[in-house]
Chain A
């Protein structure tokens, strides 16, 4: 009698929310990781100013995703969070510190180096934790029925450490190509210089993870090698994007490297989704197992259909308002 599948719609919304968050918070977290390596304090001003007006709008996607998960797929919420207990704490602590650093760094001279550190370490820890979440999602959870029964540090394996480091490299690449787009002069030169190195790091990690994943998860192995499928198109597209970054950076194009990096993330993400679909709490719970009651999904959907377009409009508008280059000495210092 149900003409449309609410769980499917919600999987789409949550999936969209997650990739929006990764793309949008990714580059500003990446700038935080690159912070200590910047050539001088002026460059740091530029880096921070380039994201200051938009970063907390970006993080709202995380909050939206978290609350949406509880509303639509409570099982994800009640398995992922206990399993990643320590990691979630580290991520929140990291996000809090860097959020406060955004506010106070510009208002502080004597203590500025402390806020610099808070910004960098907060970003790095939060990014690592997010990468580890991806790795944990691939490797799966020990559940009995609908309850997580594993230990506190089950998530921390060599594989998740690698995905955590991979996420740090990936976000740094996003941050560097964003900076190429948003800066000029010696800051931009620096960003051009580091981008190929970061790209190489990302590709190395990407390759290791790709080889490793089929050994971690039998389901993925079957999907990858079981049938001759279009699934192989996605990594090919991601690699094409990587080639694009390399080429456009050497030709000193300003906008394309960032777009190509976004493409790399999107295709990798889609690759992950189709590898695992429709499992949402690995190894064996699908999106339909994890769903909340249809009435609740419907009740929430009505609100989301109304609000998400508004959020998107506002976000697009704020990017438009703050378009263009950020120069040293702008804002306040």
Chain B
């Protein structure tokens, strides 16, 4: 079989992005949560807030470290696998990515160390300020990276001359037509991720009767947050979808499995889209509902996939099913959040074993939903890399052979498997250990200690490493 460098490069980028994405999505939400906990402790001095803040800061440190390590690879991939794209878009993407590095690094360098190690050494207000700055830094980072991605989806503010993009307006290019929707949708997804993980871990502790008072507080906060966010995210997602319908109708057609441009389009619950036949093999749907959702009229006309040549259609099945996974998980999140409100009456929620177990299980769902969402938006853009202007085919490195791409694909899978096995194994150990008694938490004071993310935790990597050593 012929090894196709384009297919392998896409696979490789998708693999690296998917592996990387789960970490920042978590840290963005968690950073704000930690800032909030520190703020609450600052405001009313309740030690439960501080203990929660210390515990979640340790988790944050590990996840942040993993995110940094996995992110390095991506910026190099632009050059290694997509050099034509790098060359063509450098006038815009180069400054944007550079600004992401320097602004994120600036805040990280200044404040992460203070957040992780400064408790008790700097005034409480300064420590709170550092926590807020780290949270702000995560948003600044996502601002730049989403501006870059949105520009590739809905390019604006540039002109294409001889195969190179020239920026005509930085404001238009950065704040391109889909940027706002994407930024809000991703920001809320990050908070949902943080919320469901904290809720799940708190529920796990409650099931074991550990630190009941603090974990009840944490769970209660999360459930309020999720009750607001989960339905709101559905609304934002709807607006985002309308924006996509305006700018990338083919993507929406693939999401809906809609081949013909027509009115009264049904909302398909199940279908097997077949690109060869240019039709769905099986369809189970609710009549006219897709038209109603997308156009707000039952007889609204929805564009179909056949509006564009077959070569310009994305992999319909992948987009179709990823979209359904994302929406189904979103609905499940709303259901769980509303159930939590119901169970609050009489405080049943904290002792309801089945509900707590559901929460534990739900803690992985936001990650799956985020990845599914990214697959919808990225695969749905295919075969365009810069929508309407540059195809993936034109973007790939000309000198790249299938063998080279396969070699590095296998290499990255191997590297990440080892690294992330270690990282996630360690993360679970940190979570299992939970909150330590107060006097064991505040031991971090020696100057020789590496001011590195994982140094925020004393927990050994393997069991016979003895107790966290500090002789």
Using a CB–CB distance below 8 Å, which chain A residues touch chain B? 49, 52-53, 56-57, 60, 63-64, 66-72, 74-75, 77-83, 85-86, 88-89, 92-93, 95-97, 99-100, 102-104, 107-111, 146-152, 292-293, 295-296, 299-300, 303-304, 307, 310-311, 314, 318, 321-322, 326, 329-333
Contacts and interface: CB of A to CB of B under 8 A. Distances in A.
A252 to B, nearest CB: 25
B399 A82 contact: yes
Contacts, number: 222
A292 B415 contact: no
B84 interface: yes
Contacts of B110: 314
A95 B72 contact: yes
B453 A296 contact: no
B86 A52 contact: no
B450 A304 contact: no
B101 interface: yes
A86 B400 contact: no
Contacts of B415: 93, 96-97
Nearest to A118: B418
B94 A70 contact: yes
B106 A307 contact: yes
Nearest to A327: B448
Counting chain B CB atoms within 10 Å of each CB, which of A60, A85, A108, A299 scores highest?
A85
A107 B454 contact: yes
B87 A103 contact: no
B128 to A, nearest CB: 21
A93 B75 contact: no
Given A70-B86, A152-B404, A311-B106, A111 B461 contact: yes
Nearest to B419: A100
Contacts of A146: 87
B465 interface: yes
A107 B76 contact: no
Nearest to B85: A78
Nearest to A142: B399
Contact of B80 (A81, A107, A310): A81
A311 B399 contact: no
B461 A152 contact: no
Q: Is the interface of B mostly helix, strand, loop or mixed?
A: helix
A300 B461 CA distance: 42
A111 B465 CA distance: 9
A74 B98 contact: no
A71 B72 contact: no
Contacts of A100: 69, 419, 422-423
B239 interface: no
A89 B411 contact: yes
Nearest to A148: B399
B398 A57 contact: no
Contact of A92 (B76, B84, B468): B76
Nearest to B471: A329
A132 B265 CA distance: 59
20 contacts: A53-B451, A64-B102, A64-B105, A67-B102, A71-B94, A74-B86, A74-B94, A78-B87, A80-B79, A81-B79, A88-B79, A111-B461, A111-B462, A149-B398, A151-B399, A295-B167, A322-B448, A331-B446, A332-B469, A333-B469
Contacts of B109: 57, 60, 311, 314
A49 B448 contact: yes
A295 B91 contact: yes
Contact of B84 (A111, A147, A292): A147
Contact of A102 (B80, B167, B411, B450): B450
Given A104-B454, A152-B403, A78 B464 contact: no
The 3 tightest CB contacts between A and B, nearest first, are A71-B94, A81-B79, A74-B90
Given A75-B87, A148-B83, 10 more contacts: A49-B448, A52-B450, A67-B102, A70-B78, A74-B91, A78-B83, A107-B465, A108-B462, A293-B91, A321-B447
A147 B470 CA distance: 56
A77 B166 contact: no
A109 B464 contact: yes
A42 B399 CA distance: 48
Given A74-B90, A148-B399, A67 B461 contact: no
B450 A331 contact: yes
Contacts of A64: 98, 101-102, 105
B259 interface: no
Contacts of B84: 78, 147
B295 interface: no
